[in-house]
């Protein structure tokens, strides 16, 4: 295993077309669950030019205006340019009702352990969770810094500090590792979109991004850019308007950004646009929860947890742990502890994390907030799978 290497991860702002689609999909999930916690809905979205396309399957027990939800999200993200905005864009829908099934109509809060065992998964999936001690959030440093930069771009735009910016943006951070520990910042890339090609000039935009975005983000970081750090800001020239008017978007196309920035494995399944009955979504959350508590308990410096599920079974058919040579005990011993002290069953996950009721308990939305800047490693919102309440079992 390499000990000295350079690794890069990217993030995007909430105005990136792919993230816009994720937010629309998850806002629809929120709306369904707010009306009925037992709702079933799977929704995907695509955007291009002035068109939004929504495809959804759902059980007809809720009254959700898909078009209105999409327009609200577009408006909140900040698209007000004539080429694409929430008022004038065309929205097409392909909606299909799912046959009503009683399989998911259980109240997990009242189930006994034996009853939880009877609730099986309805789709097959292999999911991954990861944690490491590179940052305070126990996330890999490249994706952690890329998210911080992307969020800062959005903040300076929404706060009118750089009023000429539009919602679409992208970041990338390269980190050099020595002995598998972050050693220095190799490179920083920022792609920021602007309203007009002539205002400001490229040099002014580059100076503004350094002063308002890059430098503030690294003020409190232990590892900062040095004189040899390569900084690229719109290296291909001005990025005008951005968003769906320039490039298309699709739900679930940014899985690496949603998870660990490719530093660890991730499932090929989209996380957004699915209700909590989908194990390919909630399984990724419980896997992160397990990995994070292992690292927080100092059993390993890095830990990846893999869970494999098969249709018709309640428990994962495979639980695997990889600590990349950093474990204080063997990976096999950690796996035994996970199997004993963590509930990886579908109904158990939904019960522990209260996943059906979080959209109603949180103001405005819950799943939509996850659709930009990561489903894991968040410190700006309280996520049940980010808690460190299982350290004692180790």
Q: Please give the structure tokens belonging to residue 291.
A: 């990995």
Q: Are 333 and 339 in contact (CB under 8 A)?
A: no
Q: Are 393 and 298 in contact (CB under 8 A)?
A: no
Cα separation, 270 vs 278, in Å, equals 11
- pLDDT tens per residue, the chain (394 residues)? 688 999 999 999 999 999 999 999 999 999 999 999 999 999 999 999 999 999 999 987 778 999 999 999 999 999 998 999 999 999 999 999 988 777 778 889 999 999 999 999 989 999 999 999 999 999 999 999 999 999 999 999 999 999 999 999 999 999 999 999 999 999 999 999 999 877 899 999 999 999 999 999 999 999 999 999 999 999 999 899 999 999 999 999 999 999 999 999 999 899 999 999 999 999 999 999 999 999 999 999 999 999 999 999 999 999 999 999 999 999 999 999 999 999 999 999 999 999 999 999 987 899 999 999 999 999 999 999 999 999 998 8
Contact 250, 199 (CB under 8 A): no
Any idea which residue has 């097409």 for tokens?
A: 92
| Backbone torsion region of residue 49, taken as left when φ is above 0, otherwise alpha when ψ lies between -120 and 50, otherwise beta | left
Domain edges within the chain: 5-13+140-250, 17-108, 109-134+278-393
Paired residues of 391 in beta bridges: none
> What secondary structure does DSSP assign to 42-60, as a single string?
EEEEEEETTEEEEEEEE-S
Identify whether the C-beta of residue 26 lies closer than 8 Å to the C-beta of residue 366.
Answer: no
Question: Cα–Cα distance between 127 and 141 in angstroms, integer?
Answer: 21
Does residue 200 have a cis bond before it (omega within 30 degrees)?
yes
Residues comprising the chain, all counted: 394
Contact present, 43 and 73 (Cβ < 8 Å) = no
Identify the CA nearest to 320 among candidates 290, 296, 275. Answer: 290
pLDDT reported for residue 300: 97
At residue 356, the pLDDT reads: 96
**Fold of domain 109-134+278-393:** GMP Synthetase; Chain A, domain 3 (3.30.300)
Mapped onto helix, strand or coil, the DSSP state of residue 199 is coil
DSSP code, position 145: H
The token pair at 128 is 């991954």
Nearest to 172 by CA among 192, 205, 142: 142
- pLDDT at residue 1 in the model: 62
Contact yes or no for 347/111 (Cβ under 8 A)? yes
Residue 42 near residue 58, CB atoms below 8 Å: yes
Which residues are registered as beta bridge partners of 320? Answer: 306
**What SS3 state is found at 40?**
coil
User: What is the DSSP secondary structure assignment for residue 155, as one 8-state letter?
Assistant: H
- A 10 A CB-CB count for 371 gives 29
H helix or E strand, kind and range, residue 127: strand 125-132
Residue 110 is classified by DSSP as G
Judge whether 5-13+140-250 and 109-134+278-393 match in fold. yes
What radius of gyration do the chain's Cα atoms show?
21
CA trace torsion 301, 392, 121, 363 (10° rounding): -90
CB atoms within 10 A of CB 346: 27
Q: How many CB atoms lie within 10 A of CB 393?
A: 13
Q: Are 50 and 89 in contact (CB under 8 A)?
A: yes
d(CA 29, CA 327): 38
Q: What confidence score (pLDDT) does residue 364 get?
A: 80
Let me know if domain 5-13+140-250 sits in CATH 3.30.300.10.
yes
Q: Domain 17-108 carries which CATH code? A: 3.30.300.10
């Amino acid at each position: 295993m390499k000990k000295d290497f350079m690794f890069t991860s990217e993030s995007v702002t909430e105005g990136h077309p792919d993230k816009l689609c994720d937010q629309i999909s998850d806002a629809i999930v929120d709306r369904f669950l707010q009306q009925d916690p037992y709702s079933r809905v799977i929704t995907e979205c695509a955007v291009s030019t002035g068109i939004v396309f929504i495809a959804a399957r759902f059980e007809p027990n809720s009254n959700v205006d898909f078009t209105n939800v999409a327009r609200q999200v577009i408006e909140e993200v900040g698209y007000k340019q004539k080429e694409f905005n929430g008022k004038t864009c065309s929205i097409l829908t392909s909606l299909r009702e799912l046959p009503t099934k009683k399989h998911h109509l259980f109240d997990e809060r009242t189930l006994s352990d034996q009853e939880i065992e009877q609730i099986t998964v309805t789709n097959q999936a292999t999911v991954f969770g990861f944690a490491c001690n590179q940052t305070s959030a126990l996330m890999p440093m490249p994706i952690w810094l890329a998210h911080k930069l992307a969020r800062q771009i959005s903040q300076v735009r929404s706060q009118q500090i750089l009023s000429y910016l539009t919602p679409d943006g992208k970041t990338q951070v390269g980190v050099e590792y020595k002995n598998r520990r972050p050693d220095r910042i190799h490179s920083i890339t920022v792609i920021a979109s602007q309203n007009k090609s002539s205002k400001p000039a490229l040099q002014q935009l580059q100076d503004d991004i350094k002063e308002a975005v890059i430098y503030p983000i690294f003020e409190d970081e232990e590892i900062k850019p040095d004189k040899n750090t390569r900084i690229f800001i719109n290296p291909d020239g001005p990025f005008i308007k951005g968003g769906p008017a320039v490039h298309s978007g699709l739900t679930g196309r940014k899985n690496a950004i949603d998870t660990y920035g490719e530093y660890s494995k991730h499932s090929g399944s989209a996380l957004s646009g699915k209700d909590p009955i989908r194990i390919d979504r909630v399984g990724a959350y419980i896997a992160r929860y397990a990995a994070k508590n292992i690292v927080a308990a100092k059993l390993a410096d890095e830990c990846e947890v893999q869970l494999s599920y098969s249709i018709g079974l309640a428990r994962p058919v495979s639980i695997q742990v990889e600590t990349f040579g950093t474990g204080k005990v063997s990976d096999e011993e950690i796996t035994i502890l996970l199997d004993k002290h963590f509930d990886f069953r579908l109904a158990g996950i939904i019960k522990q994390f209260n996943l059906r009721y979080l959209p109603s308990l949180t103001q405005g939305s819950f799943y939509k907030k996850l659709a930009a800047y990561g489903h894991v490693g968040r410190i700006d919102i309280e996520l049940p799978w980010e808690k460190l309440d299982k350290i004692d079992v180790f």
